[in-house]
Amino acid sequence: MAKTKRGKGLWNTLSRGRGTCPICLATRIKLLYSATNSEGKLVTVCKKCSLVDAKIVDKAVSTVNLGFRGKLRRELNQQKQSV
Q: Which stretch binds Zn ion (CB under 5 A): 1-9, 23-31, 51-59, 61-69?
A: 23-31
Pick one of 35, 43, 49, 60: the residue that binds Zn ion (CB under 5 A).
49
* DSSP tag of 11: G
CB closer to Zn ion, 1 vs 30: 30
Give the end-to-end CA distance of the chain in Å, rounded to a whole number: 42
Q: How far apart are CA 80 and CA 32, in angstroms?
A: 23
Rule CB under 5 A: say whether 46 interacts with Zn ion: yes
State the CB neighbour count (10 A cutoff) for residue 18. Answer: 17
Contact residues toward Zn ion (CB under 5 A) are 21, 23-24, 45-46, 49
